[in-house]
Structure 1
Amino acid sequence: MAPSTRFLPLAVLASLALAACDTSAFETAEDLKSYDVPDAVTTVDLTGRSGSVEVSVADGPVRVQERRVYADLPPLTSHRVEGGTLYLLDRGCGKAADADGQCATHYRVDVPRGVAVTVKVGTAPVTVTGVTAALDVTTDVGAIKGSGLAGPVKATTSVGDVELRFAAAPRTVEVRNDVGATRVFLPAGDAYRIDARTDAGPVVDLPSRPDAPNAVTLRSSTGEITVSPA
């Protein structure tokens, strides 16, 4: 029977995650590709493997920067616009390179205000700043950090901390975190219906009202949950 990682300390799991992202142990090449997307975009949908993702709100069209780090062949990345959605896709470098940690794509994406964002990645931290439309982020291994948020948010990770800071009250917040801390900061002047559950015991410093229009649902298997005023 293969050894289980279910009960490994969080620090050990975090070290494994960082090791998976680290390409410094190999002789690697690096290239940088930047481009604007002139099409009308209402949603950005990014699917990646290893690396990192940064999304920020900025004036002008959608701008994308891809920094690719690899040992042999570069990651196979692509982009297209269909039905108002910009699809960004990283297919990796091939099974051997992906497994050895010799393949990573670091995305930086600037979007206009009001653009919704969906991110799904394997081993990569995700940072989102200023997005006021819908946000949906999923990582296998990687922290999720958002600030200046205002729209509905869904954040899901197997291993990694989640921190969400809201500039305006969101209609819905849903966080599912298997291993890692969850911290949510909400404007204090609004009413929330807060449902937080974790084996470690949640700490909620805001009142919860069953009739509140804004729903906050937080779940964690191993890790603290904290809800605080912004």
Structure 2
Amino acid sequence: MSRRILPVRALATAGAIAVLVAGLGACASADEDKDPDHRTFAFQGSTLTIDADDSGLEIVAADGNPSGKAEVTRWFQGSVAIGSDPEVTWSMDGDRLKLRTHCTGVVADCATKHRVEVPRGVAVKVRSDDGSVRARGFRDGLEIRTADGSVRVSDSSGPLEMHSDDGSLRADVSARQVKASTRDGSVRLVLATVPDLVETRSDDGSVTVSLPRETYKVSAESDDGSVDVSVPRDDASSHVVNARTQDGEVTVRTAN
């Protein structure tokens, strides 16, 4: 039996990396940052686009926020054992707020979180490559798309659209129009107002829609799972609900 003998330099490097990994301990958490950064960005127009990468997002519609300005708070914690120091950047270009975290190298361990306070009366679009998104308080349009992360929306009444390539979707809102789709994750919608249109889909996960008592035009399908529709149905209704999944249960029910 042959045995590969590593050069002394390779052994020393491997040993140093092992020591560094052991010294780092648990993964970084943005909540450990007790002195977050704050900045105000002016923007133009009635729609704000938030373009984020590798960061958790909390987005809030705030009454006291000045018109045309976004208040941003940033928490960051991280380190790189071998390589360039981590860097977090933020900038505004017209109506696009760009949030970035650069953390690469050997034993890179970083975590970032942003809270964005937006004036009421502003519609928001979110584009996130990696990170969960939480939003609340919106009366205007809200569109959230993330490549990897869950989405949670509450206390909002404007048109809502949510999409995740990999993550669950949750909304507890009074919006009259809701669209929600995910490729991998469950969808759960609780609506406090009778909607005009609900469209929800999951490629792999259960779909649950809870509605106020009313009569609905419902289309509910699952390729591999049970379907339970307990709301009153009428194909002539102007309140339309489409709920589909390829793999999982579909439930359309009256909210308690």
**CA deviation after TM superposition for structure 1 residue 214, in Å:** 5.7
Larger RCO: Structure 1 or Structure 2 (Cα < 8 Å, ≥ 6 residues apart)?
1
What is aligned with 1:25?
A: 27
1:148 maps to 2:155: yes
Matches within 5 A, 1:21-100: 24-25=26-27, 32-59=36-63, 60-61=65-66, 62-72=70-80, 73-82=85-94, 85=95, 87-96=96-105
For structure 2, the residue ranges without an aligned partner over 5 or more in a row are 1-24, 198-216
**CA deviation after TM superposition for structure 1 residue 131, in Å:** 1.2
Q: Contact 2:71–2:117 at 8 Å: present in 1 too?
A: yes
Identity of matched residues, %: 24
> Counterpart of 1:75 in structure 2: which amino acid?
E
1:178 maps to 2:175: no
Q: Contact 1:185–1:228 at 8 Å: present in 2 too?
A: no
Secondary structure of the equivalent of 1:131?
Answer: coil
Return the alpha-carbon distance in structure 2 between the equivalents of residues 194 and 113 of structure 1: 33
TM-score (norm: length of structure 2): 0.64
> Counterpart of 1:123 in structure 2: which amino acid?
D
Deviations 1:180-229 (A, max 9, x none): 21111223545545545444345555446555556555444445454555
The structure with more radius of gyration: 2
Return the alpha-carbon distance in structure 2 between the equivalents of residues 121 and 157 of structure 1: 9
> Counterpart of 2:130 in structure 1: which amino acid?
T
How many residues in Structure 1 have an aligned counterpart in Structure 2?
201
Change (3 A) 1:215 1:52: farther
Return the alpha-carbon distance in structure 1 between the equivalents of residues 56 and 189 of structure 2: 22
TM-score (norm: length of structure 1): 0.70
Matches within 5 A, 1:116-135: 116-135=123-142
Secondary structure of the equivalent of 2:165?
Answer: strand
**CA deviation after TM superposition for structure 1 residue 165, in Å:** 1.7
Q: Contact 1:182–1:224 at 8 Å: present in 2 too?
A: no
Return the alpha-carbon distance in structure 2 between the equivalents of residues 208 and 151 of structure 1: 25
> Counterpart of 1:121 in structure 2: which amino acid?
S
